[in-house]
């Protein structure tokens, strides 16, 4: 079995060596990592767990022996250095469209603000992972919405668009969905609770 | 696609301008006023280059306070 000896090394070195060694393994392959500080050990464990690698740890005095098993075939491309902090990389945010206007107030103002808001998303970094539309928000993702084009562009960039099925049904718009996928309360709640943060314009 | 930006003197003018363009079949998208433009209200319209002349004429005709800028 291959061994990465990261004793005496500080973050991000153990992460860099571990990622490199993992990417040289076939799926199902094993790797041993020796580390002698607890912070690096925690970082390597989190890095592995997030990237489809099983980890078991044993401690002998000041030295931790991590036994890794690679589960996926594809190479790990995430930035391992992002795992140096105690919280790992920031989870992406999610935007919840609770209605078809931005804020509440005069309809025409809320409507034009919402258009400008959606047209700005593509210019912001980092991009959100999901856009979730519910209640009158679903009007933004159906035929006739002025925002189909910019939303389809965002979807092409890999942003997932979820539309509340109950809401589409309520408004009789189920057959008119023009961008995104019909979703239910389970995935909507799961998406919101897994978000790094939620923005509700 | 090259676009021009219609900048308005007030939010009301921007809302009216968008309404007029859409009613006339001119493609436009409401966007926040680009940071490099300091004059005007916070909402601007992005209009395809090919429709810029039509939009400018329309806004002028309807008396909506706007100026067309090239990016």
CATH number, residue B48: 3.30.70.260
Cβ separation B29–A150 shorter than 8 A: yes
What is the chain B residue with the closest CA to A118? B31
**Contact between B18 and A112 using a beta-carbon 8 Å cutoff:** yes
Nearest Cβ partner for A109 among B11, B22, B32: B11
- Decide: helix, strand or coil at residue A68: strand
* Percentage of residues of chain A with pLDDT beyond 90: 77
A133 burial level (CB within 10 Å; 0-12, 13-18, 19+):
buried
Give me the domain span that covers residue B58. 3-70
Select from A108, A113, A119 the Cβ nearest to the Cβ of B29: A119
Number of domains in chain B: 1
Residue A68 · residue A55 · CB < 8 Å: yes
How far does Cα A88 stand from its chain's mean position?
Answer: 13
**pLDDT (tens digit, 9 = 90+) per residue, A190-201?**
999 999 899 999
Cα A161 to Cα A24, A172, A200, distances in angstroms: 35, 19, 15
Q: How far apart are CA B8 and CA B63, in angstroms?
A: 12
Q: Write out chain A's pLDDT in tens, 201 residues.
A: 899 999 999 889 999 999 999 999 999 999 999 999 888 998 999 899 888 899 999 999 889 999 999 988 888 888 888 888 766 667 889 999 999 999 999 999 999 999 999 999 998 888 999 999 999 999 999 999 999 999 999 999 999 999 999 999 999 999 999 999 999 999 999 999 999 899 999
3-state SS of A112-162 is HHHHHHHHHHCCCCCCCCEEEECHHHHHHHECCCCCHHHHHHHHHCCCEEE
Give the HSE-up count for residue B67: Cα atoms under 13 Å, Cβ half-sphere: 10
- Whether B22 contacts chain A with CB within 8 A: yes
Question: Which of B16, B31, B33, B48 to mutate to probe the A interface, most A CBs <10 Å?
Answer: B31
CB contact under 8 A, A115 and B30: yes
| Beta carbons within 8 Å of B27's beta carbon, 6+ residues apart | B21, B47, B48, B51
Task: Mark yes or no for CB contact B32/A150 under 8 Å.
Answer: no
For residue B40, which residues of chain A lie inside 8 Å, CB to CB?
A: none
Q: Which of A90, A157, A95, A164 is nearest to A122 (CA)?
A: A157
| CB–CB contact B15 A108 (8 Å) | yes
User: Ramachandran region of residue B25, left (φ > 0), alpha (ψ -120 to 50) or beta?
Assistant: left
Of the candidates B71, B15, B22, B21, the one whose C-alpha atom is nearest the C-alpha of residue B44 is: B15
- Judged by CB atoms closer than 8 Å, whether chains meet at A112 and B30 is answered as yes
Token pair listed for A56: 């078991």
Per-residue pLDDT of A80-102, as tens digits, reads 888 887 666 678 899 999 999 99
- Residues A201 and A185: their CA atoms lie apart, in Å, by 20
């Amino acid at each position: 079995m291959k061994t990465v000896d990261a004793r005496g090394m500080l973050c991000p070195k153990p992460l860099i060596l571990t990622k490199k060694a993992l990417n040289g393994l076939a799926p199902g392959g094993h790797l041993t990592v020796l580390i002698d500080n607890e912070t690096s050990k925690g970082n390597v464990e989190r890095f592995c767990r997030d990237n489809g690698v099983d980890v078991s740890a044993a401690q002998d005095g000041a030295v931790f022996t991590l036994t890794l098993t690679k589960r996926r075939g594809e190479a790990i491309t995430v930035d391992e250095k992002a795992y140096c902090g105690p919280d790992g990389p920031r989870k992406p945010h999610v935007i919840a469209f609770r209605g078809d206007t931005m804020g509440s107030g005069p309809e025409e103002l809320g409507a034009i603000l919402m258009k400008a808001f959606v047209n700005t998303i593509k210019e912001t970094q980092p991009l959100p992972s999901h856009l979730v539309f519910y209640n009158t928000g679903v009007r933004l993702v159906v035929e006739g919405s002025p925002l189909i084009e910019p939303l389809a562009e965002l979807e092409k960039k890999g942003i997932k668009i979820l539309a509340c099925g109950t809401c589409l049904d309520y408004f009789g718009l189920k057959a008119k969905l023009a961008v995104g996928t019909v979703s239910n309360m389970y995935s909507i709640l799961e998406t919101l609770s897994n978000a790094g943060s939620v923005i509700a314009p | 696609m090259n676009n021009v930006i219609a900048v308005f003197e007030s939010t009301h003018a921007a809302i009216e301008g968008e309404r007029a363009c859409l009613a006339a079949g001119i493609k436009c998208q409401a966007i926040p006023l680009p940071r490099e433009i300091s004059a005007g209200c916070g909402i601007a319209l992005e209009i395809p280059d090919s429709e810029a002349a039509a939009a400018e004429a329309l806004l002028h005709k309807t008396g909506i306070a706007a100026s067309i800028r090239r990016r």
